[in-house]
Amino acid sequence: MHLTKLQLANFKNYEELVLEFPSRVNFLLGLNGSGKTNLLDAIHYLSVTKSFSNSSDTQNIRYGADYFFIRGFFANVNKQGEVFCQVQSGKKKVFQENGRDYDKVSDHIGKYPVVLISPLDVDLVKESSEARRKFFDQMIAQVDHSYLDALLEYHHALKQRNALLKLFTENNSIDYDMIDLYDQQMARSGGLIYQKRKAFVAEFLPIFNTSYNLLVDNREDATLAYASELEASEFEAGLKSSIKKDLILQRTTFGVHRDDYVFGFAHGELKRLGSQGQQKSFLVAIKLAQVEVIKSHLGFSPILLLDDIFDKLDDTRIARLLRIISGADYGQSFITDAGPERTQAMVDELDIDCDIFSVEKGIIHQSSIQ
């Protein structure tokens, strides 16, 4: 997958921008706050229909404007594609492929995949299970649309069941037939989610270990385990056994929305025992493995977005990472850095064929071609 051209208007700190990207490897260099990450976010928008930094679409509109648009032109093998997104205050978001609206915006997921490596990835280690579930849900959905459909169905049923629990508690009366209806829906979609998550982790783990050992020079094996209540209980039985607790708490306390993914090593859990260096390498390796999984499922490489990761790794691991992503079998990548001297030194040392762009206060120009 290759992004050949990008157009922006009123997106974050960009008033108007048109850029072309003939190269596979692209460096975006500039001071913090200059707009490097915003450019990556625009590419992310075209892939997954939303920002990775702002949950509200309208928060991405440039100050003083009432709309933004992003347009990207993609090339993949012999296929060309144009993706367009427009958000205007008070109006429905427009999202199109080749000039046509989607019946469901979720149908776009997986068509133009990206993998993002950013400082926010630390949440996968330090935050609750919700962050890890969200990450793996997005990864699996990019390669398996039936998983995304099941996920949407499950969360709709979960929302309705939780609303019933609150209503029944407030009214001090319970309609078990209505609860059973949503239990059946959650069991059907949730059972599929459980099986697909379990199978995905089994496929993902060896690929992840290969990526991790490329970064750390085969010094240790990492582990990734999928933890679910469904390992010990049938879905509908688990829901029925938790109904008293659910009514007290007014929320569903059993199901795949409580699953987790446990990161670690042979000697213990990453969150408790892993050094900062191990945590950083672990997270980068997960994203590199994600690239390989997408490639094996879809038959082409996703676009790789790397946001200020040079500050997170030592020089040896940076060099290994750059060798990997600049290899002939890798797809297109966009890499931000606040240290142009460091980037230039790495590019020269590794002899990387790339384009380098300078970013300053929402203005971008191509500063050199290697």
Does the global pTM surpass 0.85? yes
State pLDDT tens for residues 101-125: 998 888 999 999 999 999 888 889 8
Domain boundary among 247, 275, 301: 301
Residues 139 and 104 in one domain: no
**DSSP labels for 87-103?**
EETTSPPEEEETTEE-S
Domain boundary among 279, 301, 323: 301
Residue 333 pLDDT level (bands cut at 50, 70, 90):
very high
Residue 218 pLDDT level (bands cut at 50, 70, 90):
low
Contact 261, 225 (CB under 8 A): yes
Domain boundary among 285, 301, 317: 301
State pLDDT tens for residues 39-82: 999 999 999 999 998 889 999 999 999 999 999 999 987 789 99
Using DSSP, state whether 358 is helix, strand or coil.
Answer: strand
Q: At what angle do helices 276-298 and 176-216 cross, to 10 degrees?
A: 110
Using DSSP, state whether 250 is helix, strand or coil.
Answer: coil
Residue 343 pLDDT level (bands cut at 50, 70, 90):
confident
Mean pLDDT of 13-25: 94
Phi/psi for 109 (5° steps) reads -60, 130
Instruction: Write out the residue range of the structural domain in which residue 317 sits.
Output: 1-113+303-370
- H-helix or E-strand containing 238? helix 235-241
d(C-alpha 236, C-alpha 166), whole Å? 20
d(C-alpha 268, C-alpha 108), whole Å? 39
Residue-level pLDDT at 276: 78
Q: Given the DSSP bridges, would you call strands 79-88 and 363-369 parallel, antiparallel or unpaired?
A: unpaired
Kindly state the tokens that stand for 362: 């929402």
Mean pLDDT of 332-338: 94
d(C-alpha 99, C-alpha 83), whole Å? 8
pLDDT exceeding 90 applies to what percent of the chain?
Answer: 66
Give the angle 66-361-122 at the CA atoms, nearest 5°.
Answer: 90
Phi/psi for 174 (5° steps) reads -130, 135
Phi/psi for 37 (5° steps) reads -65, -35
Residues 159 and 289 in one domain: yes
Residue-level pLDDT at 369: 54
Q: Given the DSSP bridges, would you call strands 114-117 and 100-101 parallel, antiparallel or unpaired?
A: unpaired
Residues 105 and 131 in one domain: no
Residue-level pLDDT at 268: 77
pLDDT exceeding 70 applies to what percent of the chain?
Answer: 98
* Most confident by average pLDDT, 179-193, 220-234, 256-270, 338-352: 179-193
Residue 368 pLDDT level (bands cut at 50, 70, 90):
low
Handedness of CA 269, 275, 280, 281 (dihedral sign): negative
Phi-psi region at 160: left, alpha or beta (left = phi > 0; alpha = psi -120 to 50): alpha
Residues 152 and 285 in one domain: yes
58: domain CATH number is 3.40.50.300
Residues 105 and 150 in one domain: no
For 256-354, where are the E strands, in sequence order? 260-265, 268-269, 303-307, 333-337
286: domain CATH number is 1.20.1050.90
Residues 97 and 200 in one domain: no
Handedness of CA 266, 267, 273, 277 (dihedral sign): negative
The larger pLDDT score, comparing residue 312 to residue 23, is at 23
Residues 291 and 323 in one domain: no
d(C-alpha 370, C-alpha 353), whole Å? 5
- Across the chain, mean pLDDT equals 91
Residue-level pLDDT at 89: 94
State pLDDT tens for residues 260-317: 999 998 777 888 877 777 888 899 999 999 999 999 999 999 999 999 888 767 888 8
Helix, strand counts (H, E) of the chain: 11, 15
How many structural domains does the chain have? 2
Residues 280 and 177 in one domain: yes
Count other Cβ atoms within 10 Å, centred on residue 304.
24
Residue 155 pLDDT level (bands cut at 50, 70, 90):
very high
Count other Cβ atoms within 10 Å, centred on residue 320.
17
Nearest of 255, 205, 211, 210 to residue 225 by alpha carbon: 205
Residues 215 and 262 in one domain: yes
Residue 162 pLDDT level (bands cut at 50, 70, 90):
very high
State pLDDT tens for residues 119-142: 888 889 888 899 999 999 999 999
Residues 154 and 109 in one domain: no
